[in-house]
Amino acid sequence: MASKIIDEIRKQGRTVLTEVESKQLLKEVGIDTTEIRLASSEHEAISLSQKIGFPVVLKIASPDISHKSDAGGVKVGLKSKDEVSKAYKEIMTSVKQKFPKAKIEGVSVQNMARPGTEVIIGMTKDPQFGPVLMFGLGGVWVEVLKDVSFRIVPLARRDANEMIKEIKGYRLLEGYRGSEPANIAVLEDMLLKVSDFMEKTPMIKEMDINPIFAYKNGAIAVDARVVLEEAA
């Protein structure tokens, strides 16, 4: 199924996957994500919100917009069809003003995930060593603190454990000052699944899963971005 998703995107002449497509890939890899559907109209966004169940999140769906929040393309905590209707209009107005040439596929509609400790798993390709995995504190913290660790693919479980424990923010994952601890074994599994997928899928150039909400009994990918290599 993952190869079918990638083949379809290549046929369209694209290299950047939308969040909907990126999360479809993650699910194929065995990583839990928020439930996500693509709505191509305001009416469809309302209908999908009612099916998924409030509260929901709306995000702009466009291969040309990577930082959705900067474009005014994210609305969270929407609790009714009226709020979804208003959010849809505001997203479209903002995005068209800030990115008038962007291709807009609609909005993604997804359930609100319970907040947890935010972490990131990323992958880039080093010209010499090939795929390199990154782990660190996620959300805005990865840009502010740059508290991350790196390993070359493929990973063994020991490598995944070391990646997690060597970041400075590891104390947060242990449950700092009464906060909910993260399940380290689940995060190790996520790293190993991404490592295995990268090893088997050389056509992927970059991957960012950020943020991942880490809980004591699991973890869920809230946002994701995948970039393919240019076609030969």
Which of 76, 111, 146 represents a domain boundary (last residue)?
Answer: 111
pLDDT digits (tens, 9 = 90+) for 22-48: 999 999 999 999 999 999 999 999 999
Residue 2 is assigned to a structural domain of this protein: no
Range of the domain at 224: 117-228
The whole-number average pLDDT for the span 213-231 is 94
In a domain, 22, yes or no: no
Query: Looking at the structure, do residues 214 and 136 belong to the same domain, yes or no?
Result: yes
d(CA 203, CA 121): 18
Q: Per-residue DSSP letters for 180-208?
A: PPP-HHHHHHHHHHHHHHHHH-TTEEEEE
Among the candidates 85, 111, 137, a domain finishes at 111
Beta carbons within 8 Å of 146's beta carbon, 6+ residues apart: 136
Kindly report which listed range (100-114, 133-147, 170-184, 194-208) carries the lowest average pLDDT score: 133-147
pTM of the model: 0.91
Structure tokens at 43: 């009416």
Q: What gap in Å lies between CA 226 and CA 204, rounded to an integer?
A: 7
In tens, the pLDDT along 1-11 reads 788 889 888 88
Q: Are 138 and 81 in the same domain?
A: no
53, β-bridge pairs: none
* pLDDT, tens only, 142-159: 666 788 999 999 999 999
How many structural domains is the chain composed of? 2
Instruction: Describe the strand order of the beta sheet including 56-61 as a list of residue ranges.
Output: 36-39, 106-111, 56-61, 74-78
Residue among 17, 217, 221, 225 nearest 119 (CA): 221
Domain boundary among the residues 79, 94, 111 is at 111
Say yes or no: 107 and 121 in one domain.
no
Residue 189 makes CB contacts below 8 A (sequence gap 6+) with none
Shared domain for 188 and 137, answered yes or no, is yes
In a shared domain, residues 121 and 101: no
